[in-house]
Structure 1
């Protein structure tokens, strides 16, 4: 059993490398349904369940350090392909889709509480409020609302399990829907007016230089420096009481990439390759603390999580039909709420890597409003109780 940091990170990297190699070496229809990035998360969860590593303090510190530093580094490299003009072209539709996705999650929590409150704990209005903050803004909003509502760790235990497991499987489900994209396009009545043009514009942007050892080293080093600076200045800004340091690190690194996108730096090669490696490792780390055997310990909470996501998914598809948005945009809007910027980037990568900048912006919108959403849901549920 692994109990120290470096062997744990080595296994994560080895898992990613092996599954990517298998996918490329033995292409089959199986990988169309379950691409390697999905298998990486499943594999990470399965290895943790099998007891390959124990989440000791040293392992937890290594996991958090690698994950939290790779996230802004990856976002910086991905944002180098971003063209601000896409906001002017599809800003209103994308924002409506994102905010609508948030509202459907809130509805899911309220309706599920009304149906399931007799089977859940007395503190469910508070724990659901905390989880709704996490499912619309990310971990930083989860922590902020938990502290604001003064919810104990013991009260959060099963709800936290619900959040971790349901989120992981929701991410996998959204990516696994890719083969049904054409069928769902008919239901959604998708009109890509403007989006096709944006995709075409994005396909001509970004790194056009030669990818060699020099460019790979330059982009790798630059991304890590940007990540370090983003965390430093994010901590300084958060010290004034404005949001969470991680939120600012994400904003700063993304803005840095956007600012450099139109400069010669944005044309350098190597960024796509480095950011893809980072993306796989982050996904492995996301699943590294989810024990599949725990699914039997909190059936009512897990059922509640499934109900919340089912309501959210159904309403989001109806909203997508109303806005005439396609499947991948609906998927990104959903996971940008329920997950985070890395999760949204995973879905964007699975459908079309050119959508990653849009995924980042949607996730940042969720981060900004997540705490407000959590407190609002908690107030609503307390009134209903």
Structure 2
């Protein structure tokens, strides 16, 4: 058993490094179905279930403190690419489609929660709020909500498993929808002219990662995280949702958006460093999970399936009423449910020239996902 906190942190860092290297260099098809981040969760939860990690405060406290610093820093860095000026240029039709997709997921989660509420754990609203944060933003939003609401690790495990399986299923459906695009567009009588102005407009210069960029990215983000965490702790709290952590996440999110429109927003290595931080945060959460408690996982999978089904119905009705083409629907949906990693890929499957739309959609979610998930959690808690 590992009872030294620094040694346990070293194990989590080592596992993160190995998984990232394997995922990025081997090309194994295995990682298409089980992403490295999910494998990190499964491995750390397995080690904890087997009793490898000590449970005392002396063992856990160093890792918890590291996570408290890395989480705001990670969110801050992820938002460096979220330039609001480029997002506004998408135009009203594309922006409306994205927000309808997010709103449909919000509504579906509330409705399904009402149906299954009696069969769920009393704190399930926290896990489902985190799941919605992932499905309207991404993994970073999911762990941010987990940190704010402090959902039990076992229940958070249900949400993560549901997220992984349903996301994989949804991505396959989105790719399959490409072939049906002409028929769907004829059925909705869609006009695709509003997409023409977005053809290949996001050509970004690829800057090399240097010591200077890493210093700005790593040390700068940690400085911002520590200062903002201190400020967040001084602000007033209301209930379970608006806490010092909520204030911290809100402030770093706004700061990230501000930096994104400055020259600092183009600093090389921000997304890569943020990804490294995400692995460590996931490992810390997973190290408190116990697989012996995963008895309700099938129920959460059913909830996830129903949420996506309701979302799909709402999006199709919206497309018919507004004469929206399938491209916008599929990419908006994928940007919510899959995030920055998959929205550009689905966009390229329809038309490579429209990849920028997928990127900008996903960047909206990287900011909004945390707050959408928290809002849904507040509603479910009240219900």
The two structures have a TM-score, normalised by structure 2, of 0.74
Task: Report the counterpart of residue 284 of structure 1 in structure 2.
Answer: 283
Distance 1:310 1:358, change over 3 A: same
Task: Report the counterpart of residue 305 of structure 1 in structure 2.
Answer: 300
Q: Secondary structure at the match of 1:80?
A: helix
Deviations 1:7-39 (A, max 9, x none): 222111111111122234432322333332332
Gaps of 5+ in 2: 134-144, 319-325, 345-357
Q: Distance in 1 between matches of 2:238 and 2:113?
A: 32
Q: Distance in 2 between matches of 1:289 and 1:321?
A: 40
Superposition deviation, residue 132 in structure 1? 5.1
Superposition deviation, residue 71 in structure 1? 1.8
Q: State whether residues 128 and 159 of structure 2, in contact with CA within 8 Å, keep that contact through their aligned partners in structure 1.
A: no
Are positions 1:321 and 2:316 aligned together? Answer: yes
Are positions 1:164 and 2:130 aligned together? Answer: no
Q: Distance in 2 between matches of 1:50 and 1:195?
A: 53
Gaps of 5+ in 1: 144-158, 335-343, 378-385
Q: State whether residues 74 and 278 of structure 2, in contact with CA within 8 Å, keep that contact through their aligned partners in structure 1.
A: yes
For the aligned residue pairs, the C-alpha RMSD in angstroms reads: 3.5
Task: Report the counterpart of residue 57 of structure 1 in structure 2.
Answer: 57
Are positions 1:233 and 2:226 aligned together? Answer: no
Task: Report the counterpart of residue 223 of structure 1 in structure 2.
Answer: 221
Superposition deviation, residue 309 in structure 1? 2.0
Are positions 1:248 and 2:247 aligned together? Answer: yes
Task: Report the counterpart of residue 99 of structure 2 in structure 1.
Answer: 95
Distance 1:60 1:104, change over 3 A: farther
Q: Secondary structure at the match of 2:97?
A: helix
- 1:160-239 to 2 correspondence within 5 Å? 160=152, 163-177=155-169, 178=171, 181-185=174-178, 200-201=200-201, 203-205=202-204, 208-238=206-236
Farther off after superposition, 67-76 or 350-359:
350-359
Distance 1:210 1:330, change over 3 A: same
Q: Distance in 2 between matches of 1:193 and 1:56?
A: 61
- 1:129-140 to 2 correspondence within 5 Å? 136=132, 138-139=145-146
Distance 1:222 1:10, change over 3 A: same
Are positions 1:357 and 2:355 aligned together? Answer: no
Distance 1:132 1:168, change over 3 A: closer
- 1:22-33 to 2 correspondence within 5 Å? 22-33=22-33
Task: Report the counterpart of residue 339 of structure 1 in structure 2.
Answer: none
Task: Report the counterpart of residue 112 of structure 2 in structure 1.
Answer: 108
Farther off after superposition, 256-265 or 25-34:
25-34
Superposition deviation, residue 95 in structure 1? 2.4
Distance 1:102 1:187, change over 3 A: farther
Task: Report the counterpart of residue 66 of structure 2 in structure 1.
Answer: 66
Task: Report the counterpart of residue 383 of structure 1 in structure 2.
Answer: none
The two structures have a TM-score, normalised by structure 1, of 0.74
Deviations 1:311-352 (A, max 9, x none): 212212323434555556435535xxxxxxxxx7xx433555
Farther off after superposition, 218-227 or 268-277:
268-277
Task: Report the counterpart of residue 149 of structure 1 in structure 2.
Answer: none
Aligned residues: 337
Q: Distance in 1 between matches of 2:57 and 2:130?
A: 23
Q: Distance in 1 between matches of 2:219 and 2:266?
A: 16
Q: Distance in 1 between matches of 2:220 and 2:368?
A: 25
Q: Distance in 1 between matches of 2:284 and 2:180?
A: 35
Task: Report the counterpart of residue 374 of structure 1 in structure 2.
Answer: 380
Q: Secondary structure at the match of 1:259?
A: helix
Distance 1:95 1:244, change over 3 A: farther
Q: Distance in 1 between matches of 2:83 and 2:27?
A: 33
Task: Report the counterpart of residue 40 of structure 2 in structure 1.
Answer: 40
Q: Distance in 2 between matches of 1:64 and 1:196?
A: 48
Q: State whether residues 49 and 291 of structure 2, in contact with CA within 8 Å, keep that contact through their aligned partners in structure 1.
A: yes
